[in-house]
Amino acid sequence: MKTSLLFICCLLFLFTGKTQKIKNVTLLDQWFSDTILTNSSEVRFSSCWGFTQNDKEYGIIGSTEGSHFFELTDENKFKFIDFVPGRFVSSQAITREFKTYSHYAYASCDEGTSGFQIIDLAYLPDSVHLVADYRDALFGRVHNLFVDSVNALLYLCLVTPVQNNAELPMVPLRVYSLENPVQPTLLWEGPNDIPEVHDIFVRNNLAILNCGYNGIRIYDFTNPSNPSYLNNLTVYPQQGYNHQGWLAPNNETYVFADETASLQLKKCKLKSDFSLQVQQFFGTENEPYNKTPHNVQCTNEFAFVAYYNDGLRIYDLRYNPPMEIGAYDTYIDNAQTNNFSMWGAWGINALLPSGRILISDRNNGFFLFDFDKEFFLNQANDSHFSIYPNPTYADEPLTIRAFEDAISDFTVRIYSAVGQEVWSKTVSNQSFVEVDQSLASACYFIRIEYQNYLNENVVEYLKWEKGF
């Protein structure tokens, strides 16, 4: 079954050409409007969010004009419900973000004379209603937000308050109580020693702050009026602008993105002392120009990524490094790009109860996808090694990789269908090896020998098909 799955993945890649990559993902619906304000960049849309209300699923997408609300129907279609105009409507209003709490949606914007909007969702599926639009010393422009629903706390990132019609200095992070969801109460602001907190993830009062060029900080917000500093990650390989991250439900796996062209996603382990250990790097190929990841959400098994020019990408975190198992390119490159890698997919919501995935594309609107997670979850995986791609074609290299970092010494022997050894290599102090591309097209059997944690010799066999 594993061989069949890999064959399907490779086959889909081969037959979808270079202009659009589609792999194990089904497009259910797309919404786009060319009447929405734009400029020469053709950017109309920003972020998105998904939520449930009275057992129905809904999606929100931001545009240069405001917030668009849709029902995700049982027929897997976008059904337009309502529109809330932004305080600032302009082709320059390109950063709107959303989160929900109770029956309210919170909408931020970070351009012009924007305010912080609160929208009542109680009348869905008929309509939504703007109940507050704050532009004052408490709110003003906001770049990003996060809601801790369990503790009724609202976190706002990069707040530019306004007083007497004048903008005050930007505040990296503000935390508010949602005891009154329509009138949030300010509890804390900071940190005072760094210029920005671009994004934040919070669970069980543990907050992981993405601080741009200052890396990552981790705080305990058990007392939201006086949070405790726990740890940081200020220097790490492939470091750029630390943009956003997501903690898996196991509270151990954390994946984050640097919003810097050419840099890969990082898979980390959150340790008992609240330090982050970067373990793996993964992402799309930097061809024909350097690519940029933007936003990510995670389950224990999968990372779902809005990957700017490369669209939706899905990675299996159980592989080492995480392996791409799903893709749908929402933005088809053309001469407009000029190798600029921040068009295309911006926002993602992949954690709806139905399993449907939302992507907002800056240029092409709102996408609704299906991805069969159960198919991949049910794949038996008794091996401690992966081989990919399988089958391989032409001059593609074959990589043999251990799932676990602890396996760093092993011997590989490759045999032809008649049992003749055609290639061998002993690997030390690393968890992968590439196989000689000069082997003839044929079916091969791979023998891998290593020692497990009990110092017992273990032998595994894998089948490899090399195509023409």
64-98 pLDDT per residue, tens: 999 999 999 999 999 999 999 999 999 999 999 99
Residue 335 has pLDDT above 70, yes or no: no
Residue 376 has pLDDT above 90, yes or no: no
pTM of full prediction above 0.85 = no
Q: Classify domain 18-377 by CATH number.
A: 2.130.10.10
3-state secondary structure at position 304: strand
Residue 34's DSSP bridge partners are none
The model's pLDDT over 208-231, given as tens digits with 9 standing for 90+, comes to: 999 999 999 999 999 999 999 999
Nearest alpha carbon to residue 178 among 99, 82, 61:
99
The model's pLDDT over 245-262, given as tens digits with 9 standing for 90+, comes to: 999 999 999 999 999 999
DSSP code, position 263: P
Average pLDDT, the chain: 92
Confidence of residue 377 (pLDDT cuts 50, 70, 90): confident
CB atoms within 10 A of CB 102: 13
Token pair for 103: 């029956």
φ/ψ of 370, rounded to 5, equals -120, 135
Decide which of 429 and 252 is more confident: 252
Domain 385-466 has CATH 2.60.40.10: yes
C-alpha 30/C-alpha 366 separation (Å) is: 6
Amino acid at position 50, single letter: G
Per the listing, tokens 């797309």 go with 30
Q: Are 439 and 424 in contact (CB under 8 A)?
A: no
In this predicted structure, what is the pLDDT of residue 396? 81
Per the listing, tokens 């422009």 go with 141
C-alpha 41/C-alpha 38 separation (Å) is: 7
Residue 16 has pLDDT above 60, yes or no: no
DSSP string, 137-201: SS-SEEEEEEEETTTTEEEEEEEE-EETTEEPPPEEEEEEE-SSTTS-EEEEEE-TTSS---EEE
Decide which of 336 and 465 is more confident: 465
pLDDT average, residue stretch 371-381: 80
Residue 30 has pLDDT above 90, yes or no: yes
In this predicted structure, what is the pLDDT of residue 418? 85
pLDDT average, residue stretch 106-129: 98
Residue 231's DSSP bridge partners are 218
> How do the domains of the chain map onto residue ranges?
18-377, 385-466
For residues 346-366, b (16+ Cβ closer than 10 Å) or e, as one string?
bbbbbebeeebbbbbbbbbbb
The model's pLDDT over 137-162, given as tens digits with 9 standing for 90+, comes to: 999 999 999 999 999 999 999 999 99
C-alpha 384/C-alpha 449 separation (Å) is: 11
Q: Alpha carbon of 440 to those of 258, 360, 401: distances in Å?
A: 40, 44, 22
In this predicted structure, what is the pLDDT of residue 14? 36
pLDDT average, residue stretch 409-430: 92
Token pair for 186: 């300010």
